[in-house]
Amino acid sequence: MFKERFHFKLILSYFLVVLISFGVVAFFLDRSLEKNSFQDIKASLVNQTILIQNQMSSEQLIRSNTVDLMAFVRSIGSKINARITIVSSKGKVLADSQRSPDEVLRMENHADRREIRAALSGQVGEDTHYSNTLKKNMLYVALPVQDQGSIVGALRLAIPLTSVDKTLWTVREIVIMGMILAVFLAFGLGWIVSAKTIQPIKRMIQVSRKFAEGDFSRAIPQDSRDEIGELAATLNKMANDLESKIYEIQTQNQHLEAIFSSMIEGVIVVNGSGQVISINSAVEKIFAITHKQGERCPLLEIIRNNDIFEIMNKALITGNVFSKDLSLNYPVKKIFRISASPVFEKGVVSGCLVVIHDITEIRRLETMRRDFVANVSHELKTPLTSIKGYVEALLDGALEDKEHSRQFLKIVSEHAERLGQLINDLLDLSAIESQEVALNMTTFDLKGLVQKVLSNFQTQIGKQGLNIIDELSKDLMITADRARMEQVLTNLIDNAIKFNKPGGSIKFSGRKIENKIEIVVEDSGIGIPATDVPRIFERFYRVDKARSRELGGTGLGLSIVKHIIEQHHGIVEVESSVGFGSRFLFTIPV
């Protein structure tokens, strides 16, 4: 019943309307009925009195003939449903239709009764009062009885008031019955009408519940043009708007989610109390953690890093942006720049965005640049110092000493040569690195190129008695920048000669594997210690600085090789064993 309160209320209102309107009508009806029926009864009583008055002889009254008068009232009284009383002009009761003659004699004087008093003074007397004789409320009507113009007595008719009430109750009963019927009708009608009114509302509730659950597949049926129909239309429109808004928000969320998760930077979003709202996959990767989306827990529980925690706290407390560099050793050895920016909502800090930026590469490049400048300066300084020293010695008089001056000038020339070599290598390196010069790709046979480069090294090869083993097939063609490839081979062969043992060997081989060509330059030289292997492609890195310098090396050869090969989208690797030789392998895509 409570569930259908509206239904109940509607029925109740019908019920009340009928009850109140009927009640008001019944009240006034009853009032006027009571008045009218009383008047009617009174009028008919007066008429009856007049009729009886006309039948009686005033003479018997004058003579106070009680016996005759008694017979008269009794005979009429038995015919009409009223009590008839005859009173003398002095108020003495002479006859009464409902009393025995003895009782009549004992009846008290009626001269002081209001109706009798009025009748004896020539008027129509009427009154309602309690009858001591009959012990009930009665309506009295009295008329004067005249004889030749003078009043000789009074004739009184009385009926019990209960009969008036009876008449009234008969009417009241009808009214009450009518009212009960009307109330039942109202109830039935109210039921039907309210059920009809409620039905669309119920349907509306059902469908709007679905709306609330996010199901917009159904629309509220709109079968009327009244307020309820209008409400249904408004709700449908609202649902439509809501659906498109939700769709829009979902799409936006998906976009944001996609951006968020595909970001290279790690992003952590925390709320005002420092609880993680979301973290992206970059953060998960950096810290080797997994975080369930939507789960809220304190930052330290997910990422056990005090630096991040502190910087986040600072941003949350002060509302300022903070940054800090963080070196991680586990799970990866990297350097990160962490920035914490507060998020404001209505001017109050409501959360914080922590962005983790991998700056390892930037740092590495910075260090490299610094080292490079230091190395270049150092490399330039050494030959320059020597040149300066020998030139000064020559100026100081050694020039006169023919034998020494020649030797000094030779050394100066060697150092100048070294300087030139260094500058050439640096220029090459910077040209390759800047990638300004595009590759001039041609297809050529590798064997031919190796032969050409080897011919430039004939003297050194002969001097060291090196054995050249060329296993390259004549039809191994490669597509590359020929000049750059020549430089690669020159540097590799130069090293293979420089770091070889007398009577050692240099072997060339090449083959095509899938979509690349693999070329190997192998020597039986001094080899490279395992600890140095990972670094020999760095600029200016030399295993034995003195030896390399002595042999005219700049420490740039292999880094030039690596750059050129990478420019060709290939890779270069080295395998080496100290005392046994080194094996340089590089690939060029077909």
Find tokens 């100026």 and name the residue. 395
Q: What are phi and psi of 516, to 5 degrees?
A: -140, 160
Quote the CA–CA distance of 306 and 304 in Å, as a whole number. 7
Of 126 and 523, the one with the shorter C-beta distance to ligand ADP is 523
State the first-to-last Cα distance of the chain, in angstroms, to the nearest integer. 85
Region binding ligand ADP by CB under 6 A among candidate stretches 107-115, 246-254, 409-417, 518-526: 518-526
Of 113 and 542, the one with the shorter C-beta distance to ligand ADP is 542
Q: How far is the CB of 298 from ligand ADP (least distance, A)?
A: 52
Q: Does 418 bind ligand ADP (CB under 6 A)?
A: no
Q: Does 536 bind ligand ADP (CB under 6 A)?
A: yes
Residue 105, amino acid:
L
- What is the three-state SS of 244-260? HHHHHHHHHHHHHHHHH
Of 10 and 572, the one with the shorter C-beta distance to ligand ADP is 572
Region binding ligand ADP by CB under 6 A among candidate stretches 278-286, 300-308, 315-323, 521-529: 521-529
Q: How far is the CB of 537 from ligand ADP (least distance, A)?
A: 7
The SS3 of residue 590 is coil
Q: With contact defined as beta carbons under 8 Å apart, do 573 and 492 qualify? A: no
Q: Does 558 bind ligand ADP (CB under 6 A)?
A: yes
State yes or no: cis peptide before 331, omega within 30 of 0: yes
Of 85 and 582, the one with the shorter C-beta distance to ligand ADP is 582
Q: Does 266 bind ligand ADP (CB under 6 A)?
A: no
Q: Which of 526, 565, 572, 588 binds ligand ADP (CB under 6 A)?
A: 526
Sheet harboring 83-88: ordered strands across? Answer: 93-96, 83-88, 150-160, 136-147, 125-131
Q: Does 544 bind ligand ADP (CB under 6 A)?
A: yes
Element (H, E) at 127: strand 125-131
Q: How far is the CB of 557 from ligand ADP (least distance, A)?
A: 3
Q: Which of 125, 190, 557, 570 binds ligand ADP (CB under 6 A)?
A: 557
Quote the CA–CA distance of 481 and 588 in Å, as a whole number. 11
Q: How far is the CB of 379 from ligand ADP (least distance, A)?
A: 10
Region binding ligand ADP by CB under 6 A among candidate stretches 198-206, 261-269, 358-366, 539-547: 539-547
Region binding ligand ADP by CB under 6 A among candidate stretches 248-256, 272-280, 396-404, 537-545: 537-545
Q: How far is the CB of 270 from ligand ADP (least distance, A)?
A: 49
Region binding ligand ADP by CB under 6 A among candidate stretches 60-68, 223-231, 433-441, 551-559: 551-559
Q: Does 555 bind ligand ADP (CB under 6 A)?
A: yes
Q: Does 553 bind ligand ADP (CB under 6 A)?
A: yes
Q: How far is the CB of 554 from ligand ADP (least distance, A)?
A: 5
Q: How far is the CB of 425 from ligand ADP (least distance, A)?
A: 8
Q: How far is the CB of 579 from ligand ADP (least distance, A)?
A: 11
Q: How far is the CB of 437 from ligand ADP (least distance, A)?
A: 21
Q: Which of 125, 153, 266, 525 binds ligand ADP (CB under 6 A)?
A: 525
Q: What are phi and psi of 52, to 5 degrees?
A: -65, -40
Region binding ligand ADP by CB under 6 A among candidate stretches 98-106, 139-147, 479-487, 520-528: 520-528
Of 158 and 496, the one with the shorter C-beta distance to ligand ADP is 496
Q: Which of 398, 543, 564, 572 binds ligand ADP (CB under 6 A)?
A: 543
| Sign of torsion over alpha carbons 372, 375, 377, 383 | negative
Region binding ligand ADP by CB under 6 A among candidate stretches 55-63, 119-127, 449-457, 555-563: 555-563
Q: Does 524 bind ligand ADP (CB under 6 A)?
A: no
Q: How many CA atoms lie within 13 A of 58 on its CB side?
A: 15
Of 31 and 547, the one with the shorter C-beta distance to ligand ADP is 547
Closest among 406, 267, 419, 423 to 339, alpha carbons compared: 267
DSSP label at 91?
A: S
Give the binding-site size for ligand ADP (rule: CB under 6 A): 23
Q: Does 142 bind ligand ADP (CB under 6 A)?
A: no
Q: Which residues from 559-578 bind ligand ADP, rule CB under 6 A?
A: 559
CA dist list (Å): 328 to 170, 287, 308, 355, 523: 106, 9, 12, 15, 40
Q: Which two tokens stand for residue 351?
A: 């959360």
Quote the CA–CA distance of 282 and 295 in Å, as a whole number. 18
Of 236 and 582, the one with the shorter C-beta distance to ligand ADP is 582
Quote the CA–CA distance of 433 and 564 in Å, as a whole number. 9
| Sign of torsion over alpha carbons 526, 530, 535, 541 | negative
- For the CA atoms of 428, 429, 430, 435, the dihedral, rounded to the nearest 10 degrees, stands at 90
The SS3 of residue 533 is helix
Of 232 and 561, the one with the shorter C-beta distance to ligand ADP is 561
Q: Does 548 bind ligand ADP (CB under 6 A)?
A: yes
Give strand ranges (E) for 75-160: 83-88, 93-96, 125-131, 136-147, 150-160
The SS3 of residue 230 is helix
Quote the CA–CA distance of 382 and 495 in Å, as a whole number. 22
Quote the CA–CA distance of 537 and 560 in Å, as a whole number. 8
Q: Which of 554, 564, 565, 570 binds ligand ADP (CB under 6 A)?
A: 554
Residue window 476-515: x/- pattern of binding to ligand ADP, with contact defined by CB under 6 A? ---------------x---xx--x----------------
Would you tell me how many other CB atoms lie within 10 Å of the CB of residue 561? Answer: 22
Quote the CA–CA distance of 228 and 5 in Å, as a whole number. 18
The shares of helix, strand and coil residues in the chain, as percent rounded to the nearest 5, are 55, 20, 25
Q: Does 390 bind ligand ADP (CB under 6 A)?
A: no
Element (H, E) at 75: helix 66-77
Residues that bind ligand ADP (CB under 6 A): 491, 495-496, 499, 523, 525-528, 536, 541-544, 548, 553-559, 582
